[in-house]
Chains A and B, each alone.
Chain A
C-alpha cells in the first residue's frame, strides 16, 4: 500500500510516498537525515525519539507516518538554532546535564515542550515533564537543575 502523506518538518513542507505504517522516526532519520532523533527502545518507553507534533511532545518511534498527515513536526534540528533552543542547549551544557548524550536531544525536546506550556515550573513539574524520558547516566538531578537554569536565563523567552 502506497500513500501520499503531506506534513511539515521544522517548518518545511514534506511529502512522503510509501507505506503509511512506516514509523515516523524512520522517515525523520533516514529519509530526512534528521539523526538528532535517537532510537533508544523503539516502543515508546524511553523518549529518546521525542519530537513535537502540533505542539505536543510525542515519541516518534510508535507513530506511523500515516498519522501525521497535515501535522507540523518539530525535531531537535528545528529548535537548536532558535532562541529557546539555544537557551536550552546552553543551559544543559553549563549545568552539567549531558553525559553520554544519547537521551539528551529527547530531553531537550521534553524541556522545550514543558517550558512552552509552563514557563515557571516547580521541581515537581520538571520531574513530571521529563518522566517519559529515560536517562541511564545522570540520575536526572543535573538535568532538572539545567532546566531550572534555562528558566532563569531565558526569562521572558518562555512567557
Chain B
C-alpha cells in the first residue's frame, strides 16, 4: 500500500460503512432483556410540584425519580457547575425539565402510562425573554437579579472620554433568536452493566464529560462508569453537555433495575426538549468623528441562558471576546451578562457564542458605513486587525492576518464591485459581504490549566492504534487524525486504527468542542507519532504524551486580559440574493467564501465543512425560526422548523488561503466552527441592500421581511 502524504486525497475512513447503512448508531443497538425509558417532564415553565400521581404500574415497569438517588449520591449534574438537577424536585424551572423516567419492556404500554401520569403544580409567572429576565418577571429565578454570569473587557481610554470627544454616537440594538441543532440523529443513550461496572452507550461529543457529570448521582468513582461513544449522527454542540441530561436519569434507573435500558428521543422531543443556541441582545454605542471614523465602541451583550448555567459562562465569554469582530478599534468596552429565564437551558452550538456578537458587529458596521455613504466592505477593511494588533482583551494577534487577500479572492470571484454598482439599493437584488474569525481551542490558558489533554499511540506489529477521547461526529476527525499519524509515521493510513472512544480504554484528550481537536489533539498525536517513528524498531510499545502549551501567550483568567486564544481562524463570505417582490421570498443566487484555517489536513473534508457551516449559518439568518411563547417552544417538528434543503442554495464557490499555523499539526488550525460564523451577516447585508431595509434581528423569514417592509424600516 502506498504511504500517505498530508496533501493526498484520501477517502474518509467512515464513509463506506455509513453509506452502506452498516454504521451502528445508538438506535441500532439492542441487548437481551432490554427495557425502554420515556421521560416524564415538566409541562409548565415555572412552579412548584404539588403532587405526582403515577398510574398503577404493571409488573416489570418502574417510575424513577429523585427519590431513587441513593443517600451517597446527589441530585446534580456536574457541567461547569452543579446547578442543573438530574430530576426536578419541589419545583420546576422550564417546560421539559426531567421529573422522572418510566421504564419497562413494552413501548406502547409505556406511552399509555406516560399519558396517565398526573402532576399537579402551583404555577408561577415565567420569565421567558431576556427583557423578562432582566425585569425579574415573576421574581428572580437565580440570585436577586437573574444574572447567571457576567464579565467585561476594556481596551484603550475610558469610554466616557471617548464619547466626550465624539461628533456623533450611533447606537442600536441587534438581536438573534434561538437556533435548534437538528442533528439528524436525535439524542439517545443506552445504559447497562458489564463486569460489575456501569456501561453507557451514547451519541455524544464528550464521553469523559458524561462520566464526570453523572458519577456523583450514585456517589461512585468516575472509573466505575464506562462511556462508549457510538457512531454519532451529527452534534454541532448539541451533544456536548446535553447527553448528561439523558445519561444521568438512565444511570439512576440502572442502579435500581439492573437491566439494559434504552432512551431514544423522537424528533418532537428533540425539538422541544433539548438545548438551543443562546438568543442574544447586543447594544452597541459607537463614537464617531464627523467623517464617520470610529473612535470607540461600547457594547452591552445579553445572552438568554435559560434556567441553568450549563456552559453559558464560557459561551458568554466567547461572545464578548468576539464582540469587536475582526477589527482593531482604538477604544472599546464590552460587558456581557448571562440572564436566567424559564426556558430550556441554552448551550453549546457551533460557534459557541461567537456567531451572535459577530452578526451584531458586522451588521452594526454595515449600518454606520451606509449612513456615511461608504461601501461596507471598504469601510470595514480600514479597521482589519493586523499581526501584532491589540485584541479586545489587550492581547496581541500573533499570526499573520490575511483578511485583505481573502477579501480580494471573494470580491473578485463574486464580482462584488460590479454588482454593487449594478444593483442599486432597493432594486430587489443585492450582494452582501462579511468578515469573521474564530478563536481556536479553549479560552486563554484553559488547555493548560483545565484540560491537560493526553493522547496515546499503541504499536502492535505494523499497525498503530490511536487512543484518544476525541470523537467523530461527522466532522471527519477519525480520518484527519489517522492521516496525521500515518504521515508522520510514514505508513499507509489503512494501517492506523482509531475507534469510537471507550473511556475505559483511551486517555482523556478533552472534549470534542471548541474547534480544538485537530489543533490540540492532532498536535499531541503528531508528537507521539514522531517519537514512535524514531523508536519503530523497538517492537510493540506505546507512546503517551500530554499537551504542551506554546510559549508567549500570557493570559489572566481572573481579569480576562491577555491572549484569549492561541490563534484564530479567519473568514470572508459574500452572499448574493434576489427578492421576490410579491412573496418577499429571498432567493440566494450566489455564495462565495474564503477561509484561513492554517493548512488543511484534508481538503475534501474542509470542503464539506465549509458548505455545511455556511448553509447552517444562512439558515440561522433566514428560515430557522424557533419561537418561545410563555415558556413553550412553538416549533415541534421538521415541518415547523425548516432547515435548508438541497433546493435552497446554489453551489458554493470556496477558497482557502495558505497560512500555516506554528503550533498546529502540519500547520492546521481549527475550522469546524469558523465556517459557521459569518455567512449570516453577509446574507442580511444582501437582503438589506436588495430591499432597502434595515434589519436589527435574525432570523428574517419572509413574514418578518414583509413586516420590515411594511414598517418602512
Task: Give the B-binding residues of A (Cβ under 8 A).
Answer: 34-43, 45-46, 48, 75-77, 80, 88-90, 92-94, 96-105, 108, 123, 126-128, 130-131, 133-144
* Chain B positions within 8 Å of A131 at CB level: 645-647
* A94 touching B11, Cβ below 8 Å: yes
A136 contact from B14, B27, B234, Cβ within 8 A = B234
* Chain A positions within 8 Å of B616 at CB level: 136, 139
Of residues 265 to 294 in B, which have CB atoms within 8 Å of A's CB atoms?
266-267
* Chain A positions within 8 Å of B236 at CB level: 136
11 A-B pairs in the complex with CB atoms less than 8 angstroms apart: A35-B28, A41-B638, A76-B21, A90-B16, A98-B14, A99-B612, A101-B474, A102-B184, A136-B236, A136-B616, A139-B652
* A128 touching B19, Cβ below 8 Å: no
* Chain B positions within 8 Å of A34 at CB level: 21
* B651 touching A141, Cβ below 8 Å: yes
* Chain B positions within 8 Å of A77 at CB level: 21
Of residues 175 to 196 in B, which have CB atoms within 8 Å of A's CB atoms?
181-186
Does chain A have a CB within 8 A of B56? no
Q: Quick one: given A36-B22, A43-B638, A101-B231, are A140 and B267 in contact (CB under 8 Å)?
A: no
Q: Which of A42, A101, A133 has the most CB of B within 10 A?
A: A101
- 10 nearest A-B pairs in the assembled complex, by CB-CB distance: A36-B21, A101-B18, A100-B474, A102-B233, A139-B611, A139-B615, A93-B15, A76-B21, A99-B474, A45-B638
A34 CA / B637 CA spacing, docked (Å): 25
A141 nearest CB neighbor, chain B only: B611
Q: Quick one: given A127-B647, A131-B646, A134-B184, are A93 and B12 in contact (CB under 8 Å)?
A: yes
A111 CA / B53 CA spacing, docked (Å): 50
B18 contact from A104, A126, A127, A128, Cβ within 8 A = A104
* A139 touching B20, Cβ below 8 Å: no
A41 CA / B473 CA spacing, docked (Å): 19
* Chain A positions within 8 Å of B630 at CB level: none
A25 CA / B253 CA spacing, docked (Å): 29
Q: Quick one: given A98-B14, A100-B474, are A40 and B184 in contact (CB under 8 Å)?
A: yes
A155 CA / B421 CA spacing, docked (Å): 45
* Chain A positions within 8 Å of B181 at CB level: 136
* Chain B positions within 8 Å of A100 at CB level: 18, 183-185, 232-235, 473-474
A139 contact from B17, B18, B614, Cβ within 8 A = B614
Does chain A have a CB within 8 A of B663? no
* B639 touching A43, Cβ below 8 Å: yes
A68 CA / B632 CA spacing, docked (Å): 38
* Chain B positions within 8 Å of A99 at CB level: 234, 474-476, 608, 612
Q: Quick one: given A96-B604, A99-B476, A143-B646, are A123 and B651 in contact (CB under 8 Å)?
A: yes
B591 nearest CB neighbor, chain A only: A139
* A96 touching B638, Cβ below 8 Å: no
Of residues 12 to 63 in B, which have CB atoms within 8 Å of A's CB atoms?
12, 14-25, 27-28
* Chain B positions within 8 Å of A94 at CB level: 11
Q: Which of B12, B19, B186, B266 has the most CB of A within 10 A?
A: B19
B19 contact from A75, A89, A135, A142, Cβ within 8 A = A89
Does chain A have a CB within 8 A of B633? no
- Shortest CB-to-CB span from A41 to chain B, Å, is 4
A99 nearest CB neighbor, chain B only: B474
A100 CA / B18 CA spacing, docked (Å): 8
- Shortest CB-to-CB span from A26 to chain B, Å, is 10
* B234 touching A138, Cβ below 8 Å: no
Does chain A have a CB within 8 A of B649? yes
Produce 1/0 per residue, B445-489, CB < 8 A to A.
Answer: 000000000000000000000000000011110000000000000
* Chain A positions within 8 Å of B259 at CB level: none
A76 CA / B18 CA spacing, docked (Å): 11
A45 CA / B474 CA spacing, docked (Å): 21
A6 CA / B40 CA spacing, docked (Å): 38
* Chain A positions within 8 Å of B183 at CB level: 100, 102, 136
9 further A-B pairs in the complex, CB-CB below 8 A; given A39-B27, A100-B18: A34-B21, A36-B20, A38-B233, A93-B15, A96-B608, A101-B14, A102-B184, A134-B645, A137-B184
* A98 touching B646, Cβ below 8 Å: no
A53 CA / B211 CA spacing, docked (Å): 44
Does chain A have a CB within 8 A of B643? yes
B609 nearest CB neighbor, chain A only: A99
- Shortest CB-to-CB span from A154 to chain B, Å, is 15
A89 CA / B16 CA spacing, docked (Å): 6
A35 contact from B12, B21, B651, Cβ within 8 A = B21
A128 nearest CB neighbor, chain B only: B647
